[in-house]
Structure 1
Amino acid sequence: MVSVTDKHEKRMTYLCIIEVQLCCVSLFEHLEPHELHSCIFVNRQWCKISITILWRSPFYECNLLRNKWRSLNLLARTCLLCLDDNKRELLTNESIPLPSISSGQQPIFDYPSLFRVINIEIICTMSDAWVISNKGKCITSEYCKKVLRKTLIEHLLERAEMIHFINLDEFNIKPIINKNALNLRRLKKIRFSSPTTDRKNSSIDNISTFSENVSIFSTLTNNLLHIIVENHKQHGSFIEYESDTKALAELVRNQGSLKCLEISGYYMNISSIFESLKGKTTTLTKLSLNRVDLNFISQNAINSWISCVNLKSIEIQNCKIVEEIYFNSGQQIFPNLKKLVFVNHVAKFPINFIIQIIKSTNKNLEYIKFELDHLTSVNQLSLINTVIHHCPNLLHLNVDELLNSQLIQILDSCRKLRELKFDTSNEFDNNTFIEFAKHIPQTLKYLYINVDYYPFPDTFRMFINNLNDVNLKVLHISNGEEELGNECREILEKHGIISSRIHSYQPFL
């Protein structure tokens, strides 16, 4: 008979083992792939944890390797070894060569079940790599590629128990999806991408239109947190655009907890997409618009957008708009906004729209990036002055054009800055550089300057003497041609300052 003490000891031992495993998982999450690979050979427990993490997104790791084609071929081999008997028989009947399984060499793990990321494009490339490497054994390679793509997509979608992200990319092959599959209902992130060319005459079977793919997932899941849409169509018809827009609006409307929405390449009316945000007033935290035409946006769409009061990040890049979009004056529309990116390389953009956003943030902005090719000097002045007066809590500022006077004003008003990147075509001389140091806030760690000027060593010494207890970590000066001289580098290194670019403090990225 087992005593109460023995039961207690066994329970405590079991809890300790679980605790150790949880600690290992937490630690291993932060290791690089090559470090995890070493952990595989330590013991059985470490092996299981490492394999589970490594196989969440093996496609990504293959892309990073030098011999990508060979890596994808090996990945295809492993996936084929994990096929069930029915799929193996199907491929055999289609004369597609399969890796031989020797006795005792069955895969230790069911690797497809560990996938959390499914990348349709790379599955197709992986299938092609296998067929090409076995070209002599395939009767018709193009047909074999089609069959193998379809089989592997179907198998991985079925077996991936904890699937998190599906990347449909440009191939847009209509997957064979079981609409009752529980794993797909747990999907959190998806990326749709329309083809760059007309694929009507493509050799790929089962091509679905962009709207068909979107509609499939619109009925399949309502738990998406992140939707990415990239439209590469250059000459789509109005009907195609309208169909795509309606499908996307329905997908957005059906998601109960959507947090991030990224839209790229829409040059038709997308009001219906914005109007579908009406029910996302408290959940949506990031909105990214790239190459989107805002000229036809309706007032109802604008009202739905500005009702998303929990937005923390807005990115507007190379979008079209002729007339100003106005919000209610004085209203704090985006009181929780932390990050604003505004990039404009294509055409004139009404700057008051961006100024309204900045003023509506209740001075909470912490990250700003501006690239302003087409702004007039008056508009540039208005925008920078708005930053000076309404962004005292900035941590990161990246601006492609600053006047010397504006630079000093920004440093004096934004006393929490940790990173500053700026370009200037102004006359930037030794005196300006030395004076600049007197205004740098103590919080600044990373300073990147792109300017047609290099300070002399004596100027560097005076700059450092004027820093006033600033604990600067990186000072990178670039004029696009010369490198910083050795003597200047030594002066910086003597004070613990790095002179080359490094990964810096970038919140929200």
Structure 2
Amino acid sequence: MTLPYLTDDCIYYILQYLQNDHSTLFKCLLVNRFWCKSTIPLLYANPFASTTEKNYLITSTLILCFNKAEILQLKNQLGLSQINNINFDNFDKEHKPLFEYPKYLKYLKNYDIFIINFVISKWFAKYIPNLPIFQIFCVDNIFPIFLQSILRQSRNIEQLDISLNLFYEESFKNFNFQNFTSNLTKLNSLSLNFHSSGTDHTVNKEIEQEFLRNIANFCTNASKLIIELPKIRRPLYQHDTSDGLIITTTTLEKLCTIIQVQNKLKMFKIWDCHSLLNDILLSLEFQKHSLVYVEFTACDFSNVSLKRFNYLYNLEYLKFEYCKGILLNQCESLNFSSFKLKELSFKRNYWNVDVTSLMIKYLGASLQRLLVETPTKSLIENISMYCPNLIFLKIRICLRVDLSVIQSFKNLRTRILSITTLYDTDKFFINLANNISINIGKIFFFSYSRNSSKFLKFKEFLENCHNRFEMISLNYIIELEFLKIVLNYIERSNNSLKVLGMMRLGKELNDEELKLLNLIKAKGVEIVRYNTIYHDLCKFAF
């Protein structure tokens, strides 16, 4: 009988399906030459994601892919650390690499660099069993050699997250940045981290700017760009806007050029931007036809014209976290915005709450998702009045809220409400229940309370709220009294409830708890893990 034959395309799709299952992919290598050749690019697209016990063996593979100059550098550095018992000449002769493994790398993130260093240290500890522990820590000068080799050979990098402090290493002094950046034409996600340092790196600024210049010349197809400028201090910098002293004028020009030359930039994030923000916003205007998502974290909008936002015609997602500096009179220009936001998010910003309220007034007409904090009466009223298309509203209550504010909740037009609170008093839940809008069919509660009887607060809510909820999700562990409360609500609500989200569904239940849980399920209610359902509803489009 003829054995069934799989076409090359079928094999390729099978392997694609297994691309995150490294242990299975390693077995696929042994089937035949074609399977091996097709599997290697998948295994080495993100080789440092593997957390297997023997992941340190990749170090041998990386060394085999060194060129002569890199082998010489490695020998010299090990010699300086008095590690002379590895014969790399024999090592190279006995083991010839079958593939140019680093060229398949697609994802290189800043976090991966720490993993690479850990894996290398682990390899030395295994390869030289008697190597004193202090000498392992002395080999840190060899880490940049490995990274240089990886960067030199990479041809298919799609996501690059890199700290520019890396170029302050002496070993990068003669690194050919042009050859490296010319390999980044497939890059679609770029993250540049300008972490501050106490050391004067004036000389290395030239290397840093050479890198940025080459990025601007060769990397023009990024759809996602993240810039993290040096942190000045925490908490939020107060009167210090000295980022211009840390980021030179030349570096700023390079950053602005990188923003401007991207062909179809969709997502932009920036961290810790202060006096440079006007220049950055001006550069974003070059991406007005493609830019969809903009996020600001720890940025200072003092003396910044918000008119710049009006030119971003296709903006749909806008997020502010830990920002400061926006005044009421700055918001007026947003009344003339041409874009139609789908999502707007405010988290721990240092400005008057009326600023948030006014921005919602001008940008709320098209909003489908909104995140706000510490609600006031005017804020809730503006959400009710100016957000007619709202689907998902998340409210974080970090401070004690005036209970009279809760009365405004009855006018909310959102279909899904998520409330995160530190102060979940009985009065809060009773007021919320009595004023919850009948438009809200799905509700999420996340309480930080460690009170063992906090289910009583949910009892107050469920006994006093309307009976039209289709979904209720709580960060609460299954317990007998709570299950009774839920069952009573289901029976009162004429079985409108379809989904119940809870924590620790794997908990072992006693007979009475199991009986109640089965009764709830018999009513047609699906029990879902809280984290799973919350993540599905709260995740951004990107």
Equivalent residues in 2 for 1:416-495, closer than 5 Å: 417=416, 420-423=418-421, 425=424, 427-428=426-427, 439=438, 441-442=440-441, 444=442, 447-450=444-447, 453-455=454-456, 457=481, 458-467=484-493, 469-475=496-502, 491=516, 494-495=520-521
Distance 1:139 1:476 in 2: 45
| Matched residue count | 462
The aligned residue for residue 465 of structure 2 is: none
Shift of 1:223: 2.1
SS state of the match for residue 149, structure 1?
A: helix
Deviation string, structure 1 residues 207-255 (Cα, Å, up to 9, x no partner): 7676564344223422222221222342767433353433322221222
Among candidates 280, 293, 316, match of residue 286 of structure 1? 293
Distance 2:356 2:406 in 1: 25
Contact 2:193 2:227 (8 Å CA) reproduced: yes
Distance 1:295 1:22 in 2: 54
SS state of the match for residue 166, structure 1?
A: strand
Equivalent residues in 2 for 1:496-507, closer than 5 Å: 496-498=525-527, 500-504=529-533, 505=536, 506-507=539-540
Distance 1:246 1:308, change over 3 A: same
Shift of 1:371: 3.5
SS state of the match for residue 331, structure 2?
A: coil
Distance 1:75 1:220 in 2: 30
Equivalent residues in 2 for 1:317-336, closer than 5 Å: 317-324=321-328, 325-328=330-333, 330-335=335-340
The aligned residue for residue 4 of structure 1 is: none
The aligned residue for residue 270 of structure 2 is: 263
Distance 2:408 2:511 in 1: 31
SS state of the match for residue 199, structure 1?
A: coil
Shift of 1:474: 1.1
Shift of 1:113: 1.3
The aligned residue for residue 369 of structure 1 is: 371
- Is 351-360 or 131-140 further displaced after alignment? 131-140
Residue 187 of structure 1 aligns to which amino acid in structure 2?
L
TM-score (norm 2): 0.71
The aligned residue for residue 232 of structure 1 is: 230
Shift of 1:408: 4.3
Deviation string, structure 1 residues 53-72 (Cα, Å, up to 9, x no partner): 2321223335xx6x6xx74x
Deviation string, structure 1 residues 414-433 (Cα, Å, up to 9, x no partner): 23x3x734326453588668
The aligned residue for residue 149 of structure 2 is: 155
1:223 counterpart = 2:224: no
Distance 1:192 1:420 in 2: 34
Distance 1:438 1:384 in 2: 12
Distance 1:500 1:142 in 2: 43
1:200 counterpart = 2:213: no
1:405 counterpart = 2:407: yes
Shift of 1:317: 0.3
Distance 1:237 1:115, change over 3 A: closer
Distance 1:169 1:319 in 2: 23
* Structure whose residues are more often helix by fraction: 2
Residue 261 of structure 1 aligns to which amino acid in structure 2?
F
1:183 counterpart = 2:173: no
Among candidates 41, 48, 52, match of residue 59 of structure 1? 48
Contact 2:230 2:243 (8 Å CA) reproduced: no
- Is 246-255 or 425-434 further displaced after alignment? 425-434
Residue 106 of structure 2 aligns to which amino acid in structure 1?
R
Distance 1:246 1:132, change over 3 A: farther
Deviation string, structure 1 residues 398-447 (Cα, Å, up to 9, x no partner): 2113754344443xx223x3x734326453588668768994755x3x73
Shift of 1:258: 1.6
Residue 154 of structure 1 aligns to which amino acid in structure 2?
Q
Shift of 1:177: 3.4
- Is 131-140 or 108-117 further displaced after alignment? 131-140
Distance 1:470 1:408, change over 3 A: farther
Residue 331 of structure 2 aligns to which amino acid in structure 1?
Y
Residue 240 of structure 1 aligns to which amino acid in structure 2?
I
TM-score (norm 1): 0.75
Distance 1:106 1:211, change over 3 A: closer
SS state of the match for residue 183, structure 1?
A: coil
1:508 counterpart = 2:530: no
Among candidates 17, 31, 34, match of residue 7 of structure 2? 17
Aligned-CA RMSD value: 4.2
SS state of the match for residue 448, structure 1?
A: strand
Contact 1:241 1:268 (8 Å CA) reproduced: no
Distance 1:295 1:157, change over 3 A: same
Distance 1:251 1:489, change over 3 A: farther
SS state of the match for residue 275, structure 2?
A: coil
Distance 2:13 2:227 in 1: 37
Among candidates 363, 380, 386, match of residue 384 of structure 1? 380
The aligned residue for residue 481 of structure 1 is: none
Contact 2:310 2:334 (8 Å CA) reproduced: no
Deviation string, structure 1 residues 314-345 (Cα, Å, up to 9, x no partner): 1100111152322446535331x222221015
- Is 131-140 or 34-43 further displaced after alignment? 131-140
Distance 1:177 1:209 in 2: 10
Residue 56 of structure 1 aligns to which amino acid in structure 2?
A
Distance 1:42 1:226 in 2: 38
Distance 1:329 1:177 in 2: 46
Distance 1:321 1:430 in 2: 34
Contact 1:310 1:334 (8 Å CA) reproduced: yes
Distance 2:41 2:21 in 1: 14
Contact 2:307 2:333 (8 Å CA) reproduced: no
Distance 1:430 1:139 in 2: 58
Distance 1:487 1:313, change over 3 A: farther
Structure 2 regions of 5+ residues with no counterpart? 80-85, 234-241, 460-480
